[in-house]
Amino acid sequence: MTQAAIKTTGLRKSFGSNQVLKGIDLEVAEGTIFALLGPNGAGKTTMVHILSTLIRADAGLGTVAGHDLAKEPDAVRDAIGVTGQFSAVDNFLNGEENLMLMADLRHLSKANGRKRTAELLSRFDLVEAARKPVATYSGGMRRRLDLAMTLVSSPRIIFLDEPTTGLDPRSRRTMWQIIRELVADGVTIFLTTQYLEEADELADRIALLDHGRLIAEGTPAELKRMIPGGHISLEFASVEQLQAASAMLGGSQKDTDALTLQVPSDGGVGSIRDLLDRLDRGRVDVSSLTVHTPDLDDVFLALTGQPDGERATVS
């Protein structure tokens, strides 16, 4: 078993009377991706703030890179890189100057700093914008610069707070690719997200945070077993077609007013093709099809039996 890059026991934090974290125990193995999933206000950012030494926990222990958060914050800071939820770039400088600023603060030599800056500008597709003020960058460019700044010192442990929120699908894929490359180099990644899909795509282990507690933790496969499958929603032009399809597909739910049929499915390409083949053979025309994959809400629903409000804790 590899050494833990991040380990916490009984971490607690309140803001006034608002108990945000109510005792968090978690462990992240070196060189893996850990995803912390949760809805707005669950305490994800607070967790990242504590682990990155920005704020102090009220109680509990935490070690990052083998150093105690409370006792050796500077040793932790030397080992980590953080890309927060909100942009942390210097708006009055340009992209190149921002990266050079990080190189100076990480105590790289001038030559090394320049080399690293050039590398990162090209890796993050910012060469053209390098000399433009950051204030003129688009959200996606800003996000890329933010991550590039985090990577200047090649940290061993990286915190990414909602790294793809607000990115278009293409930029999101690029970000995923970069995250995978980092892990391939042995970096440990702690990321937060609101997208189950993202956690599924990237993470070795996922934890669900809700109302300040971890309500489930495991590999994506383990978690999926706890979640009921998704479904495919089929829409038909007439009631006759709907009746025919419904007779053909056992276990489906039909809605005669909306002329739709819900078929349980894992949403995979294979099962969709299979479904369409069966309908084709039965000469039933489908006018539209939507795939519903389980989302965060389904997870909470499955784990707590309640969609919103106060949830009972499971784990």
Partner 1 sequence: MSTLSYAVRDSTTMLRRNLKHILRYPVMPLMLIGIPVIFLLLFVYVLGGTLGAGLGGASGRAEYASYVTPGILLITVAGAAQGTAISVAMDMAEGIIARFRTMAIFRPSVLTGHVIGSFIQTMAGLAIIVGVAMLIGFRPNATAIEWLAAAGMLAMISFAVIWFSVACGLVTKSVEAASNLPMPLILLPFLGSGFVPTDSMPSGVAAFADYQPFTPVMETVRGLLLGTGIGHNAWLAVAWSVGITVVCYLWAKKLYNRDPIR
Helices and strands (DSSP H and E) totals, the chain: 11, 14
Any contact of residue 15 with ligand ATP (CB under 6 A)? yes
Any contact of residue 110 with partner 1 (CB under 8 A)? no
Interface residue with Mg ion, options 8, 45, 63, 153 (CB under 5 A): 45
Shorter beta-carbon distance to Mg ion: residue 96 or 161: 161
Task: Give the three-state DSSP class for 218.
Answer: strand
178: enclosing H helix or E strand: helix 169-184
- Dist CA 137 CA 93 (whole Å): 11
* Close Cβ partners of 283 (under 8 Å, ≥ 6 residues apart): none
Stretch that binds partner 1, among 86-94, 215-223, 252-260, 286-294 (CB under 8 A): 86-94
Beta-sheet strands, E only, within the chain: 4-15, 18-29, 33-37, 59-64, 67-68, 80-83, 157-161, 188-193, 205-210, 213-218, 230-235, 253-255, 260-265, 288-292
| Partner in contact with 71, chosen from partner 1, ligand ATP, Mg ion, none, beta carbon below 5 to 8 Å by kind | none
User: Considering only residues 263-302, where is the footprint of ligand ATP by CB under 6 A?
Assistant: none
Task: Give the three-state DSSP class for 213.
Answer: strand
* Close Cβ partners of 153 (under 8 Å, ≥ 6 residues apart): 81, 102, 106, 108
In terms of Cα–Cα distance, which of 282, 292, 294, 273 is closest to 249?
282
Any contact of residue 18 with ligand ATP (CB under 6 A)? yes
Shorter beta-carbon distance to partner 1: residue 52 or 164: 52
- Dist CA 59 CA 42 (whole Å): 18
Any contact of residue 25 with partner 1 (CB under 8 A)? no
User: Considering only residues 112-151, where is the footprint of partner 1 by CB under 8 A?
Assistant: 149
Stretch that binds Mg ion, among 57-65, 77-85, 182-190, 245-253 (CB under 5 A): 77-85
| Partner in contact with 42, chosen from partner 1, Mg ion, ligand ATP, none, beta carbon below 5 to 8 Å by kind | ligand ATP
* Closest CB 27 distance from Mg ion, rounded Å: 22
Interface residue with Mg ion, options 85, 174, 194, 243 (CB under 5 A): 85
286 and 235 Cβ atoms separated by less than 8 Å: yes
Give me 71's structure tokens: 């006792």
Shorter beta-carbon distance to partner 1: residue 86 or 186: 86
User: Considering only residues 44-63, where is the footprint of partner 1 by CB under 8 A?
Assistant: 52-56
Interface residue with partner 1, options 27, 30, 78, 266 (CB under 8 A): 78
Q: Which residues form the interface with partner 1 (CB under 8 A)?
A: 52-56, 74-75, 77-78, 80, 82, 84, 86-93, 97, 101, 104-107, 149
Q: Which residues form the interface with Mg ion (CB under 5 A)?
A: 44-45, 85
Q: Which residues form the interface with ligand ATP (CB under 6 A)?
A: 15, 18, 20, 38, 40-46, 85, 194
